[in-house]
Structure 1
Amino acid sequence: MNTSLHHDEGAHAQGARPLIQTRAVTKDYPGVRALDGVDFELRPGEVHVLFGENGAGKSTLISILAGANQPSSGTILVRGEETHLGSVHEARELGISAVFQEFSLIPQMTVAENLFLGAEHARYGFLDNKRLRREAETILDELGFHIAPDQTVDHLTRAEQQMVEIAKAFRDELSVLILDEPTASLTNHETDQLFKLIGELTARGVGIVYITHRMAEIRRIGDRITVLRDGRYIDTVDAKTTSEDELVRLMTGRMVGAIFPKISFSPGEEVLRVDRLTTPDDAVRDVSLTVRAGEIVGFAGLVGSGKSETMQACFGARPASAGTVTYKGQPIGGSSPGANIRRGFLYLPADRRTEGLMMMRSVRENMSLAALDAKQVRNGPFLSRAGEVAMVSELADRLNLSPNRIERAVDHFSGGNQQKAMLARSLTRDFDLIVFDEPTVGVDVGTRASIYEFIAGLAGQGVAVVLISSDLPEILHMSNRAYVFYRGAVQAELPASELTEENVLSHFFEREAA
Structure 2
Amino acid sequence: MTALLRVESLTKQFPGVLALDNVSLDVDAGEVHVLLGENGAGKSTLIKMLAGLYLPSSGRILLGGEEMSFAAPRDARAAGISTVFQELSLVPTLTVAENLFLGRLPSARGIVARRRLRDMARAALDRIGADIPLGAKVSSLPRSAQQLVEIAKGLLGEARLLILDEPTASLGDRESERLLELVRTLSGQGLGIIYITHRMREISQIGHRVTVLRDGRLIDTVPADTGEDRLVELMTGRALEDLYPSLPRTPGAELLTLHDVTGPELHGISLSVRAGEIVGVAGLLGSGKSSVGRTCFGLDPLHSGRIEVQGKPLKQLAPAAAITRGIVYYPSDRRHQGLALCRPLFANITLGSLRHAKASTFGLVNRRRERSVATSYVERLSIRPGDIGRRTELFSGGNQQKAVLARGLIHGTQVHIFDEPTVGIDVSAKADVYRVMSELAAAGKAVLLISSDLPEVLGMSDRVYVLHEGHVVSHLTGDEITESAVLSTFFGEASTTTPGGPSA
Asked if 1:253 is matched to 2:230, the reply is: no
SS in 1 for 2:99: helix
Map of 1:243 onto structure 2: 227
Deviation at 1:430, TM superposition (A): 0.8
Please, which moves more after superposition, 17-26 or 441-450? 17-26
Deviation at 1:453, TM superposition (A): 1.3
Map of 1:182 onto structure 2: 167
Counterpart code for 1:247: L
Asked if 1:463 is matched to 2:448, the reply is: no
- 1:49·1:226 contact (CA, 8 Å) conserved in 2? yes
- 1:137·1:148 contact (CA, 8 Å) conserved in 2? no
SS in 2 for 1:435: strand
Q: 1:412 aligns with which of 391, 394, 418?
A: 394
SS in 2 for 1:164: helix
Deviation at 1:443, TM superposition (A): 1.8
Deviation at 1:182, TM superposition (A): 1.4
SS in 2 for 1:376: coil
Asked if 1:286 is matched to 2:289, the reply is: no
Deviation at 1:436, TM superposition (A): 0.8
Q: 1:277 aligns with which of 261, 266, 283?
A: 261
Q: Which structure 2 residues correspond to residues 26-41 of structure 1 after superposition, within 5 A?
A: 26-41=11-26
Q: 1:318 aligns with which of 300, 306, 310?
A: 300
SS in 2 for 1:233: strand
Q: 2:188 aligns with which of 198, 203, 206?
A: 203
Q: Deviations over 1:99-144 (max 9, x none)?
A: 1112222222222222222332222212223322332233323323
Map of 1:9 onto structure 2: none
- 1:402·1:417 contact (CA, 8 Å) conserved in 2? yes
Asked if 1:55 is matched to 2:40, the reply is: yes
Map of 1:125 onto structure 2: 110
- 2:467·2:474 contact (CA, 8 Å) conserved in 1? yes
Give distance in 1, aligned partners of 2:376 and 2:495.
55
SS in 2 for 1:473: helix
Deviation at 1:26, TM superposition (A): 2.6
- 1:162·1:185 contact (CA, 8 Å) conserved in 2? no
Counterpart code for 2:450: I
Deviation at 1:194, TM superposition (A): 2.7
Gaps of 5+ in 1: 1-15
Gaps of 5+ in 2: 497-504
Counterpart code for 2:22: G
Give distance in 2, aligned partners of 1:300 and 1:473.
11
Structure-2 change in CA distance of 1:171 and 1:145 (3 Å): same
Q: Which structure 2 residues correspond to residues 334-483 of structure 1 after superposition, within 5 A?
A: 334-483=316-465
Counterpart code for 1:296: I
- 2:288·2:470 contact (CA, 8 Å) conserved in 1? yes
Deviation at 1:229, TM superposition (A): 0.4
Structure-2 change in CA distance of 1:380 and 1:32 (3 Å): farther
Please, which moves more after superposition, 61-70 or 388-397? 61-70
Give distance in 1, aligned partners of 2:408 and 2:325.
13
Counterpart code for 1:477: G
- 2:166·2:197 contact (CA, 8 Å) conserved in 1? yes
**What TM-score do the two structures reach when normalised by structure 1?**
0.91
Q: Deviations over 1:364-393 (max 9, x none)?
A: 121112412325221432111111111111
Deviation at 1:468, TM superposition (A): 0.6
Q: Deviations over 1:178-229 (max 9, x none)?
A: 0112122334443333333323322332110011122322112211111110
Structure-2 change in CA distance of 1:461 and 1:94 (3 Å): same
Q: Deviations over 1:69-91 (max 9, x none)?
A: 33344332222333222222221
Q: 2:27 aligns with which of 42, 55, 76?
A: 42
Please, which moves more after superposition, 295-304 or 311-320? 311-320
- 1:265·1:480 contact (CA, 8 Å) conserved in 2? no
Q: 2:3 aligns with which of 18, 22, 27?
A: 18
Deviation at 1:394, TM superposition (A): 1.1
Structure-2 change in CA distance of 1:350 and 1:94 (3 Å): same
Deviation at 1:333, TM superposition (A): 4.4
Deviation at 1:158, TM superposition (A): 2.2
SS in 1 for 2:12: strand
Counterpart code for 1:51: L
Please, which moves more after superposition, 21-30 or 228-237? 21-30
- 1:144·1:193 contact (CA, 8 Å) conserved in 2? no
Taking every aligned residue pair, what percent have the same amino acid on both sides? 48
- 2:296·2:322 contact (CA, 8 Å) conserved in 1? no
Give distance in 1, aligned partners of 2:186 and 2:13.
34
Give distance in 2, aligned partners of 1:290 and 1:195.
35
Give distance in 2, aligned partners of 1:127 and 1:338.
49
Please, which moves more after superposition, 318-327 or 467-476? 318-327
Deviation at 1:148, TM superposition (A): 1.3
Give distance in 1, aligned partners of 2:228 and 2:280.
26
Structure-2 change in CA distance of 1:273 and 1:430 (3 Å): same
Asked if 1:231 is matched to 2:216, the reply is: yes
SS in 1 for 2:76: helix
Deviation at 1:259, TM superposition (A): 1.1
Give distance in 1, aligned partners of 2:99 and 2:41.
31
Deviation at 1:400, TM superposition (A): 1.3
SS in 1 for 2:193: strand
Q: Which structure 2 residues correspond to residues 477-492 of structure 1 after superposition, within 5 A?
A: 477-492=459-474
Please, which moves more after superposition, 497-506 or 334-343? 334-343
Q: 1:106 aligns with which of 86, 91, 108?
A: 91
RMSD between aligned residues: 2.1
SS in 2 for 1:251: helix
Q: Deviations over 1:6-43 (max 9, x none)?
A: xxxxxxxxxx3232333332333444332222223222
SS in 2 for 1:484: strand
**What TM-score do the two structures reach when normalised by structure 2?**
0.93
Structure-2 change in CA distance of 1:145 and 1:512 (3 Å): farther
Map of 2:252 onto structure 1: 268
Deviation at 1:297, TM superposition (A): 0.8
Deviation at 1:445, TM superposition (A): 1.9
After the TM superposition, list the runs of 4 or more consecutive aligned residues in structure 1 that deviate by more than 4 angstroms. none
Give distance in 2, aligned partners of 1:136 and 1:487.
32
